[in-house]
Amino acid sequence: MPIVEKSVEATYEKMRTMLINVVPSVELRYKSELVFEINRLKAERQAVILGHNYMEPALYHSVTDYVGDSLELSRVAARTDAPTIVFCGVRFMAETAKILSPQKNVLLPSLDAGCSLAAGITAEDVRQLKALFPGAPVVTYVNTYADVKAESDACCTSSNAAEVIKSFDTKVVIFLPDEYLARNVARQLDRPIFFPVRGSEGLRAPDVEIRDAIIGWRVKCEVHEKYTVDDVQRVRRQFPDTVVLAHPECSPAVVASSDYSGSTSAMIRYVRESEAPHYLLLTECSMGDNIAAENPKKEMLRLCSVRCPHMNEITLEQTLASLRDNRHSIEVAPDVGQRARRAIERMLEVQ
């Protein structure tokens, strides 16, 4: 847990020591006042702040008690004793925390922090898919809303998707909703992938024989789909000694052209443990800034221009207002939460 400094000036000096190379000094001066007040209120109210790896550096390194990817933060939400959880992430993450800790007060600083993947599939879509492929288990990416999780047999993250799918001893698995992640996992498991067809009368199965396959869904992350093989090749021409790391939500072609692909936390570990002279992360830009702050002797190429509009809705100002005014409290219907919890718990059981 971040220590509450004795003054705003002490807070500023601590932030400046770590972040001066990634955040302008004048911005740090202003944000140190917010950080000081957030940490004071957090201690007073016995709250815990969870921060996804995509949060802006001044927030990520100064007020969070735990940081990580969706899987790591889900585990923290399940075990924390804090009566209040402030989730600096997006809505589906806060919902997951509420499902795992229904008795706790879970706050999301901005209700505009959504997700293109979560918005791209509904519970009714899942029910139709289950009717098309009876008996096929549904594995749902954690980047979905609670009602979709409730229709699923298991959830997963990008770090354990393949293992969750393998945990089902079935020939056909429905994997939702990210198309690129599904294609990358299918390639990893050496299984074909097929997609349902949407017509005027709803969904129908593809006109092929399906025996041993993954059934996917045609929705992509609006951030990761913007990266191209040309981006990777251009970097390699300019900086041939650069290690390129791609998130599994990037296209299979981009992943194949990169040096490493993994979850946000896996990419962070890779940079910490390797000794390459330059790194380029093909994921949300703030994460590159966060890694640069943690690893000042390692050079992160600042070629990133893709920021998640939803993650960027979470600011220090809104985090302070969330703690101060107890907003915005996340609720999940008990029956939905109970069914979704079973799917989430299966995800947590898989390493």
118-219+333-349 CATH: 3.40.50.10800
CA separation for the pair 35, 300 (Å, rounded): 26
CA separation for the pair 80, 78 (Å, rounded): 6
- Give the confidence band of 1 by pLDDT, cuts at 50, 70, 90: low
Confidence (pTM):
0.91
Model pLDDT, residue 2: 62
- Give the confidence band of 6 by pLDDT, cuts at 50, 70, 90: confident
More confident residue, 217 or 286: 217
Helix (H, G, I), strand (E, B) or coil at 117: coil
8-114+311-325 and 224-300: identical CATH topology:
yes
Instruction: Tell me the per-residue pLDDT of 89-111, one tens digit each, with 9 for 90 and over.
Output: 999 999 999 999 999 999 999 99
Instruction: Tell me the per-residue pLDDT of 65-82, one tens digit each, with 9 for 90 and over.
Output: 999 988 789 889 889 999
CATH architecture of 224-300: 3-Layer(aba) Sandwich (3.40)
Q: Domain spanning 8-114+311-325: which superfamily?
A: NadA-like (3.40.50.10800)
Instruction: Tell me the per-residue pLDDT of 12-47, one tens digit each, with 9 for 90 and over.
Output: 999 999 998 889 999 999 999 999 999 999 999 999
- 202-204/197-199 β-pairing: antiparallel
Contact assessment for residue 77 and residue 100, using Cβ atoms and an 8 Å cutoff: yes
Model pLDDT, residue 63: 97
In the chain, helix, strand, coil percent, each to 5? 45, 15, 40
Instruction: Tell me the per-residue pLDDT of 245-281, one tens digit each, with 9 for 90 and over.
Output: 999 999 999 999 999 999 988 999 999 999 888 899 9
Instruction: Give Rg (Cα) of the chain.
Output: 21
Contact assessment for residue 312 and residue 114, using Cβ atoms and an 8 Å cutoff: no
Domain positions in the chain:
8-114+311-325, 118-219+333-349, 224-300
- Give the confidence band of 298 by pLDDT, cuts at 50, 70, 90: confident
| Residue that is written with structure tokens 């209700």 in the block | 111
Task: Indicate whether 3 pLDDT > 70.
Answer: no
